[in-house]
């Protein structure tokens, strides 16, 4: 039986180390401002998740998840429709390989996603991980809202006063966090900021 060479083992451990260190970094992402989300995103879109498919990446030998979206509106960048992204983690024998901080998408749910560009290995994730993943929900009146669980007053605090939507300005007079915003208001702010981002 042939023994693996030292250089082959070194390469395997190096790749595994790089992958694990990037996964650990993913758990300690600093809070991003709204302008950072817009500027750092290669593509921004509103879309519905229509498929999640797990597979073994043949080059890195790790589990990955391919998520496909039906694009409803492109807000920044050029998008193919449907759009499929590849993220680390997914199903494997004996359960799921979960990497803390890597966003998951539910089939049938609608999102507004701020997406990084695609790496040389084909990976792409939301900007700031869960910070760039906004779920579209309905409020008590049946109106579409977006949320990612963070306080939008904090996320949008650095926007010029003229760029802030009325709903945000009204909420600034209260101490309670604002974790939801109307979908149309949210998309309007994105389009305005895309126009001024470098």
Position 101 scores a pLDDT of: 62
As beta bridge partners, residue 51 has: 68
H or E stretch at 185: helix 183-196
End-to-end, the C-alpha distance of the chain in Å comes to: 58
- The C-alpha torsion from 34 through 36 and 39 to 43, rounded to 10°, is -70
Q: Read off the pTM.
A: 0.80
Given a cut of 50, the residues of the chain with pLDDT beneath it are 5-28, 198
* CA–CA dist 125, 133 (Å, integer): 9
Provide the pLDDT for residue 81. 94
Q: What is the pLDDT of residue 68?
A: 97
Domain ranges for the chain: 31-196
User: pLDDT tens digits, residue range 170-187?
Assistant: 666 677 899 999 999 999
pLDDT of 48 reads 98
Beta strand 90-92 pairing with 144-147: unpaired
């Amino acid at each position: 039986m042939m023994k693996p060479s030292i250089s082959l083992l070194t390469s395997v451990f190096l790749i595994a180390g790089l992958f694990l260190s990037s996964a650990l970094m993913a758990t300690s992402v600093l809070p991003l401002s709204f302008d950072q989300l817009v500027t750092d995103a290669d593509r921004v879109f509103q879309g519905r998740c229509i498929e999640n498919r797990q597979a073994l990446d043949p080059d890195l030998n790790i589990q990955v998840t391919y998520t496909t979206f039906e694009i409803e509106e492109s807000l920044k960048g050029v998008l193919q429709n449907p759009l499929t992204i590849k993220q680390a983690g997914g199903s494997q024998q004996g359960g799921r390989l979960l990497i803390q901080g890597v966003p998951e998408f539910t089939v049938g749910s609608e999102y507004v996603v701020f997406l990084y560009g695609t790496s040389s290995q084909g990976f792409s994730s939301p900007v700031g991980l869960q910070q760039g993943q906004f779920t579209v929900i309905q409020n008590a009146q049946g109106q579409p809202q977006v949320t990612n669980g963070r306080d939008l007053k904090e996320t949008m605090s650095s926007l010029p006063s003229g760029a802030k939507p009325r709903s945000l300005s009204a909420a600034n007079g209260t101490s309670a966090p604002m974790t939801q915003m109307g979908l149309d208001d949210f998309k309007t702010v994105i389009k305005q900021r895309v126009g001024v981002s470098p």
